């Protein structure tokens, strides 16, 4: 293996185990002294890390360590909170809005209810390690759940449904697209309009049945999460 690739491999492991997003690598001079090579070799090693999306050169500051996206597997029982905890992250969800609304044509079709039927709408902001990651709009058709759901303030909605209503939901259909953020999403997720969002629209059914219980639309920062589909 070339010397610069060996250095890049060592630094990549250190970035994973010792650095956080927003940290800076030591200067090229310090790295050259540490690895006993010239600065050109260090520069080639850093170029490899840039190609891997691990760091970015900042004019006058050095090499910035980039926050690495977490992996989110898409399968029938995928769960945001438990999945991120398993990866060592600290997810948190905050309810921004919970209300009854009239179903428009799209929501009526998704939930298989009549146009203008009253449905439950919950808007949640999801954070990981204190950083806003996603905003999710969740729509539920069963108004019998509304008195209990008014007590839902944070955490996983699906876990809340299991614990308080004895209802288990299973993912039935998922659509994924990339979309530009609107002003509200930019503000809540603390991003610029140039960062595309991963939009995931999901239909969930009551487990063991074909009864549609929830339609959700999540808008997730594409720099903080990657979606994984196993085959």
Q: Where are the domains of the chain?
A: 3-65, 70-228
Q: What local confidence, expressed as pLDDT, does residue 207 receive?
A: 95
pLDDT band at 82 (very low <50, low <70, confident <90, very high): low
104-118 pLDDT per residue, tens? 999 999 999 999 999
33-52 pLDDT per residue, tens? 999 999 999 999 999 999 88
Q: Identify the CATH class of 3-65.
A: mainly alpha
Q: What local confidence, expressed as pLDDT, does residue 131 receive?
A: 86
pLDDT band at 78 (very low <50, low <70, confident <90, very high): low
Q: What local confidence, expressed as pLDDT, does residue 228 receive?
A: 80
Range of lowest pLDDT (2-6, 197-201, 222-226): 222-226
% of the chain beyond a pLDDT of 90: 70
Q: Stretch 23-38: mean pLDDT, rounded?
A: 94
10-20 pLDDT per residue, tens? 999 998 888 88
pLDDT band at 128 (very low <50, low <70, confident <90, very high): confident
Phi, psi values for residue 137, rounded to 5°: -105, 120
Q: Identify the CATH class of 70-228.
A: alpha beta
142 to 100, 112, 137, 222: CA distances (angstroms): 11, 11, 16, 32
């Amino acid at each position: 293996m070339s010397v610069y690739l060996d250095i890049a491999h060592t630094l990549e492991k250190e970035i994973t185990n010792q650095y956080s997003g927003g940290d800076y690598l030591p200067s090229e001079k310090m790295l050259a002294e540490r690895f006993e090579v010239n600065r050109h070799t260090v520069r080639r090693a850093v170029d490899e890390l840039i190609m891997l999306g691990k760091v970015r050169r900042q004019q006058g500051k050095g090499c910035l360590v980039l926050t690495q996206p977490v992996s989110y597997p898409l399968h029938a029982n995928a769960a945001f909170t438990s999945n991120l905890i398993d990866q060592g992250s600290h997810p948190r969800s905050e309810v921004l809005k919970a209300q009854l609304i009239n179903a428009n044509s799209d929501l009526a079709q998704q939930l298989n209810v009549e146009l203008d039927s009253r449905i439950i709408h919950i808007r949640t902001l999801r954070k990981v390690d204190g950083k806003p990651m996603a905003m999710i709009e969740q729509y539920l058709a069963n108004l019998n759940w509304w008195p209990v759901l008014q007590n839902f303030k944070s955490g996983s909605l699906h876990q809340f449904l299991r614990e308080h209503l004895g209802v288990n939901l299973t993912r039935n259909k998922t659509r994924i697209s990339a979309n530009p953020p609107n002003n509200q999403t930019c503000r809540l997720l603390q991003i610029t309009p140039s960062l595309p969002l991963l939009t995931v629209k999901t239909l969930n059914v009551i487990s063991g049945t074909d009864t549609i219980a929830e339609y959700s639309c999540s808008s997730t920062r594409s720099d903080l999460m990657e979606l994984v589909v196993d085959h």
